[in-house]
Structure 1
Amino acid sequence: MPAATDLHVVLGAGGAVGGSVVRELVSRGHRVRAVNRSGRVPALHGIEVHQGDITTVVGAKAACAGAEVVYHCAAPAYVRWVEDFPHMTDAVRQGAAAAGAKLVFADNLYMYGPVDGALTEDLPYAARNPKGRTRAAMAEALLAAHRSGELRVALGRASDYYGPGGVNTVVGPTVFAAALGRKTARWVGSLDEPHTLSYLPDIARGLVTLGSDARADGQAWHLPTAPAVTGREFLDLVLAGLGRPGKTAALGRPMQRLIGLFDPTVRALGETWYQRDRPFVSDTSKFTATFGPFATTPHTDAITATLDWFRANPTP
């Protein structure tokens, strides 16, 4: 049955991406239901808060009931992607379909595997590592559900993100909190290879664009970002935003292996080290050619906003 109201449901609303999508939707005047397991979501006037477990079909259907668009921004812990992510996403698909809603999935770039040149949406899903294959399988299943007519689907793909609220990311506390605390700000990977970084509010604007435009349906889209920068350039911009000198360094492969002996999340980064030892640049021209100009946030402005957030929300 088609959804009958302008209700936009955000799953994983307590996370960095989901919280950004909630704020973007509210700014556009939509009715918003913010969903996560704990019920802790952005404190914004007028949103409906739903505490629920979307890893079950029953829970996903309850969370999505009455929705016009569902934004799947939820994710299990990084080290549990292979075991838990497909099951969660299958439940979300069924929940959105039962509501007659369009499903927008906050995806990433893992499925392509090592690539020579810029990443484009027409690349094959060539990843051979477990997390990449998991991402590929979820994307294929969702697009197959669209082709079958079960529900409308659009996939929005971002690179490593940063921004207000961005703590579960390699460009989070180890860069911003460390720099603010006069510790060494560490870039994961080579300092001298260009790397696309996605700013959370830009991700949210891109996902909401996909949710509101039928031209997005049945396809994957690389979400617009500011131009790629090297790790060295990014760290220099962070120090410039602080207005004082600081210490920076790379976390290279040997150190990643050593830390990974004790930290499973750092150990898991080894699967995708090809994203960090060579250029990793997302081509977003398909998005802008279809939906028109998109004013991405310059890294200087985005870094200033992120530093302000980490000042107000210090991390241990």
Structure 2
Amino acid sequence: MSSKQDKSGTALVLGATGGIGGEVARQLEAAGWQVRALRRGEPQPGEQRGGITWLRGDAMNSGDVMAAAQGCGVIVHAVNPPGYRRWGELVLPMLDNTIAAARAQGATVVLPGTVYNYGPDAFPSLREDSPQHPQTAKGAIRVQLEQRLKDATSDSGQGCCRVIVVRAGDFFGPRAGNSWFSQGLIRPGAPVRSVKLPGKPGVGHQWAYLPDVARTMVALLARRDVLPAFATFHMNGQWDADGRQLAEAICRVVARRGGPRPSIKSFPWWAVTLAAPFVETLRELRRMRYLWNTPVRMDNASLVAALGAEPHTPLDIAVKETLQGLGCLGKPSSAF
């Protein structure tokens, strides 16, 4: 499924209004897929926008998901509760709706994965088969989520589906939505005056440029028939070996646009600690701080074996596109 002329595949994207879901939907459409997206409230039935068919429905409603998935060979499950809220109540029921629809259609489910499944016993190098002993409630739910998907690939009594899980680091990109890049490192919609680093000095961190993640998923879908029924892959993404390389790239991009070099500062974790008792999103961010205090790198050997190479955008280009998309660079430039 690599050319615009091949229109044989139909995919349903749940969470297409979000960062990863929207990027996967756009790249599937560009690769020749017929793409449907489910959205609450706004679209008229069958509304076409950007080559994508938008359907009215809710991922929490099993009937809506089942109807939208009719005739689909792929379901991208990229939907999450907003702002970390009500994870324990909503995440698994939404996934169950996706699994039921995938079983009914014999479809492949694509899941964007994270490092939250893993605890310190698996660090610093994470392989797909590393032990999953998470130390947060959100991580425990992630483990359950993937286990339900794995069970769905082998339970022939209710119909089987296939699953592809792509685990990556912290997302950034021109349309990534809420992310550490846009909420922690810089301030969207304004020139970059400073970059705030959440990690300890010298501690490496795993980043993932969202268009590369989406390209990886589309490439794996083209090979889904030869992959295991439950296939998991890790992306190397943009590895920041000392915790400063992404910040230095931001500074280079800003300087190329003629702006003053931003300062590099420490992220104010103290402010998060003070506000966490009153804001659920900040409580979750604080619980994830351990991922900034130790290097955690993902081993992409399995992905390279499957695809030959991992899609990879040079860091400065990825950062430039991200800052441009966040409104931090003003008018587009031909500097790259």
Residues 1:83 and 2:96 aligned together? no
Change (3 A) 1:295 1:166: closer
The 2-side partners of 1:80 and 1:188 are apart by 25
Q: 2:249 aligns with which of 219, 222, 237?
A: 237
How large is the Cα RMSD of the aligned pairs?
A: 2.4
Q: How does 1:188-267 map to 2 (within 5 A)?
A: 188-213=198-223, 214=225, 215=227, 217-243=229-255, 244-251=260-267, 253-267=269-283
Superposed, 1:102-117 pairs within 5 Å as 102-114=108-120, 115-117=122-124
Stretches of structure 1 that go unaligned for 5 or more consecutive residues are none
C-alpha separation between the residues in 2 aligned to 1:161 and 1:20? Answer: 12
Contact 1:69 1:104 in 2 (8 A): yes
1:112 positional shift? 1.0
Identical-residue share of aligned pairs (%): 28
Q: Corresponding residue for 1:146?
A: 153
Q: Aligned pair in 2 of structure 1 residues 6, 167: CA closer, same or farther (>3 Å)?
A: closer
Asked if 2 retains the 8 angstrom alpha-carbon contact of 1:241 and 1:300, the reply is yes
1:163 paired residue among 144, 151, 173: 173
Matched, 1:56 2:68: no
- Residue number in structure 1 paired with 2:137: 130
Amino acid aligned to 2:101 = G
Verify the 8 A CA contact 2:192 2:328 in the aligned structure 1.
Answer: no
SS at match of 2:245: helix
How many Å apart are 1:107 and its aligned residue? 1.6
More helix by percentage: 1
Q: 1:275 to 1:293 in 2, by over 3 A?
A: same
> Which residue is equivalent to 1:177?
187
Shift of the 37–191 alpha-carbon distance from structure 1 to 2, 3 Å rule, reads farther
Alpha-carbon separation, structure 1, partners of 2:104 and 2:58: 16
Task: Give 4+ residue runs of structure 1 displaced > 6 Å after superposition.
Answer: none
What's the CA shift for 1:44?
5.0
CA distance in 2 between counterparts of 1:289 and 1:134 reads 29
TM-score (norm 1): 0.90
Query: Could you tell me how far 1:47 is from its partner in structure 2?
Result: 1.8
Tell me if structure 2 keeps the 8 A contact 1:5–1:68.
no
Q: CA deviation at 1:266?
A: 1.5
Letter in 2 for 1:104: V
Give the superposition deviation at 1:178.
5.3
Question: In the superposition, relative to structure 1, how do residues 82 and 184 fare at CA in structure 2: closer, same or farther (>3 Å)?
Answer: farther
**Which one-letter code corresponds to 2:28 in the other structure?**
L
Name the TM-score, length of structure 2 as normaliser.
Answer: 0.85
1:175-200 C-alpha deviation (Å, 9 max, x unpaired): 34359434433232324211110011
**Residue of structure 1 aligned with 2:9, choices 3, 6, 10:** 6
1:17 aligns with 2:44: no
Q: 1:293 to 1:174 in 2, by over 3 A?
A: same
- Change over 3 Å in CA distance of 1:269–1:75 after alignment to 2: same
Counterpart contact for 1:10–1:71, Cα < 8 Å? yes
For the structure 1 residues 311 and 101, does the alpha-carbon distance in structure 2 shift closer, same or farther, using more than 3 Å as the test?
same
- Which whole-Å CA distance do the structure 2 matches of 1:21 and 1:292 have between them? 21
Cα displacement (A) at 1:202: 0.6
Q: Which residue number corresponds to residue 32 of structure 2?
A: 29
For residue 84 of structure 1, report the CA deviation from its aligned partner: 1.1
- The question of whether the paired residues in 2 share the 8 Å contact of 1:180 and 1:242 is answered with no
Shift, 1:5, TM fit: 5.0
Q: Structure 2 CA distance, aligned partners of 1:38 and 1:282?
A: 38
Which has more radius of gyration?
A: 2
Deviations along 1:207-250, whole A, 9 cap, x unmatched?
Answer: 12232222153121113413334332211211211113113322
Secondary structure of the corresponding residue to residue 174 of structure 2:
coil
Distance 1:179 1:246 in 2: 15
Change (3 A) 1:312 1:94: farther
Corresponding residue pairs, total: 310
